[in-house]
Structure 1
Amino acid sequence: MSTAIPDRDGDGYLTDMNAWTPDVARAMAEADEYDLTDEKWDHILKAREYYDEFNVVPPIRKFSKYLGADKKAMFELWLTGPMKPITKYGGLPKPTGCV
């Protein structure tokens, strides 16, 4: 049985952050035909940890430092500004500023 996807806004973000679960994230990615590799999944979980600790979505510079990851490699992995899909599939608020 597949996981029902809660309501999302026009950009694909959950309208209720509390509706997020790992299964919801996987269902969203599948619906969007987006592959969540283990490395991407790790970034999503770390972003959720960061948000739980600081109550804010970090800019990519700060987040790559938090991960100890190379920012350029993150852009190559995600094929876009990393914070947009990380926050989208992580059930977090939309990032602001440079992402």
Structure 2
Amino acid sequence: MPLTLDNDGYLANLDDWNTDLANQLATLEGIVLTEAHWEVIHALRAFYQQYELAPSQRPFVKHIANTLGKDKGNSIYLMTLFPESPARVAARIAGLPRPTNCF
């Protein structure tokens, strides 16, 4: 399935998301997804299903800490997985809209 992205590089139709598209989106970011990436992506998608929004950086880190533990719910760890802007990059790969307050 071809990628259809909006002007900001996010999936145009959120319902199109699947693991193959996630891998394609990750490749665009220069990331090879590992199990560590997938657990964050799945936690982020669960957050979106519950609250219907992609969290900005602080709520993202807090949610990961609450769901995966404090060792994974910190900015340094998440930056190693999703460089530059973890909330924005992870949301893009997870097939979610641009997080609020992420430039």
What range describes the TM-score normalised by the shorter chain of this pair? 0.7 to 0.9
Where does the alignment leave 5 or more consecutive residues of structure 2 unmatched? 66-72
* C-alpha separation in 1, matches of 2:62 and 2:56: 10
Q: Determine the structure 1 residue equivalent to 2:83.
A: 79
Whole-angstrom distance in 2 between the partners of 1:5 and 1:96: 26
Alignment deviations for residues 9-68 of structure 1 (CA, whole Å, 9 cap, x no partner): 233211111111111111232355422222122111111000000111112211212111
Identity of paired residues, percent? 28
1:20-99 equivalences in 2 (<5 Å): 20-68=17-65, 69-98=73-102
TM-score by length of 1: 0.81
Q: CA RMSD in A?
A: 1.9
Q: d(CA) in 1 for partners of 2:9 and 2:33? A: 16
**1:5–1:28 CA contact under 8 A, matched in 2:** no
Q: Give the direction of change, closer, same or farther, for the CA distance of 1:33–1:71 in structure 2 (3 Å limit).
A: closer
Count of matched residue positions in the alignment of Structure 1 and Structure 2: 96
Q: Distance in 2 between matches of 1:65 and 1:36?
A: 22
TM-score (norm 2): 0.78
Rounded Cα–Cα distance in structure 2 between residues aligned with 1:87 and 1:55: 12
